[in-house]
Amino acid sequence: MIVPKERAEEIRQKLVDDGVMLEHTKVRREGDLVYFPVKRQVHIEGCAMGSGEFEIIRRKSYDDALRERGIHIDSISLDLIGDIAVIRLQEESCAKEVAQAIMETNPHVRTVCLDRGVEDDFRVRKVEVVAGERNTETIHREHGIRMKVDVARVYFSPRLSSERMRVAKKIEHNATVIDMFAGVAPFCLYIAKFSHPKKIYAIDKNPHAVRYARENVLMNKKEDIIEVIEGDARDVMGRLPQADHIIMNLPHQSHEYLSHALQKGKHIHYYEIMEKERIEERVRQIVKESAQGGYSVNAGEVRVIGSYSPSKVKVAMDLEVKHF
């Protein structure tokens, strides 16, 4: 795929997230163009498909390193957040060996944390450092945005980078935006950088997330656009102005807050964990419950953006709201 240089990082992230980037192959750069090796035809506006030769990169994976140690892992989840690797394992007895293999094959990783699941109401995961430096704070970079994160104190998912960009592209120029569960403000920073909004209100009740969000706003020089507010969204929403867009990325509890968003927003970017066999039924239920509250809701784009369990998935909905 042939990409303009100025869009290279955006397109690279999308190709990786969509699983079409050819692995272990070196990207080519010629003048103002970047050439990405892909597995199949991809259609992206402003880019073109072509053919050419690419250099193969011979790099040992952590799987290779584990096999050399005589270890086979059936299931592993790995997130790279800045220079920290966060892993989830079914067989935690092998955690230290897996962590060492990751550090051996990823020189930029300085800390490996074992994720033991969600610990509290702040969506924070209980993590244990199993290799490297005993420091869980890092700076994560996406699409030219820098975000300071402590993986032991705040929720952050690098897997949502494409979703953050997708939402940012839906925000109109000069729009007012509310993020009800902002965390360290990744959605807000994407929107501030790429959408030219009038104002963004970033709400979170985790004081650590609020502190990092404020640091991130200053670090990315968006303090004139983003206002970070500490508190429960149910208590804060009443004193905020009407919004063109509201983001509700709290998938286990979003439904408890939807009535507050309906009162304030024209477009709601809503996330929920659902039974994958009942998505259409759940969408109809949300539309029906909104109507009972006096709001006409049209569920536009409905997308599965990740798996949660064998039977459940994380779903993103773009809801358009009108008062009766």
Tell me which of 11 and 75 has the higher pLDDT.
Answer: 11
Which CATH architecture group holds 157-323?
Answer: 3-Layer(aba) Sandwich (3.40)
Question: Mean pLDDT for the chain?
Answer: 93
Residue 77: name the closest of 92, 64, 60 by CA. Answer: 92
Rounded Cα distance between 133 and 4, Å, is 38
Q: What is the pLDDT of residues 255-273, one digit of tens each?
A: 999 999 999 999 999 999 9
> Does the CA dihedral 241-242-248-253 come out positive or negative?
positive
CATH code for the structural domain at 62-135:
3.30.300.110
Least confident of 72-76, 114-118, 142-146, 165-169: 72-76
The whole model's pTM is what?
0.82
Q: What is the pLDDT of residues 119-149, one digit of tens each?
A: 767 779 899 999 999 999 999 999 889 999 9
CA distance readout (Å), 170 to 16, 222, 258, 298 = 21, 19, 20, 16
Topology adopted by domain 1-58: Alpha-Beta Plaits (3.30.70)
Pairing verdict, β 176-179 and 199-204: parallel
Identify the pLDDT of residue 324. 59
Domains of the chain by residue range = 1-58, 62-135, 157-323
Residue 315: name the closest of 266, 282, 271 by CA. Answer: 271
**With 70 as the cut, is the pLDDT of residue 58 above it?**
no
